[in-house]
Structure 1
């Protein structure tokens, strides 16, 4: 009786071990799980922080009522901040609930955000060159020089954060595109089949 119980217990343990190995193997081969392993939630939190910073600095520029040419002229801090916030939230949600549909939506927003960053970077570089020109010709006026230095620092900081977000979004685009491409291809499935207890094997 004791031998039968120990044998059954050993078989149950072996079956549980095989099931765990099978689950881990299937999860590691699923493209969605490979996307989750690249930590889209952590990157999404960083992009979300960049978006909040853009919106807050946009309010600061708006409250300053600057008549000088800034990125607020075409409302870059607001619409780019909203894009970053949406991309960050989508990355966090997709990391928690991975699915092909959510990954497709996230990929679309990543691409739109990258295009927006390119537009904002071109305009901000133009603004920085304009600030440098104004600062050069108003160097004898202390207040004008201080104001140009402040705007130069704000726009430079926002440009730097946009470039950092651009790198993160490009990485997310590559990872999401590879995962979606893998789901459309034939994925090899490994099936582990075990004989039920009581059926003699060939060795027996």
Structure 2
């Protein structure tokens, strides 16, 4: 039953997460709430970090990792296959009919409507990552002290790396940012 449920959830994610791997994140956060035995939001934040730092599409990496955690090797195969299957089907259909519909006003209008939707999904996913990584809502709601709203060390790390990336204007390999964040994270944890 777990494998059928994994297939259903990841097929649904692959079908509706338009816009790339980051667009899968709202669906994964929903899964974390709905199926905590698979993974929780904290584990999801770790999955995001690992998926972002490994080669390959983030959505596929996330599906493989989440599927493995939920159902072992077979779970990772099922989740990954289910995630990519809708894209394969859609690409085959588009390839067959693209030349016929590329100038169609309805098709162009649909893509016009999809762009802000994809942006909103990615922004929502970004907020969820911030919520798990920087905010400490449990401590805040217990004390209602604004200082308790943030994990100060994580906020400092975020600010320093954000400022560095803005000052460097994206120069430097992303691996340098990941390595710097890992080193500072280790230092902060001690």
TM-score (norm 2): 0.26
Task: Tell me: higher relative CO, structure 1 or 2? Use CA pairs within 8 A at least 6 residues apart.
Answer: 1
Q: Which has the larger radius of gyration?
A: 1
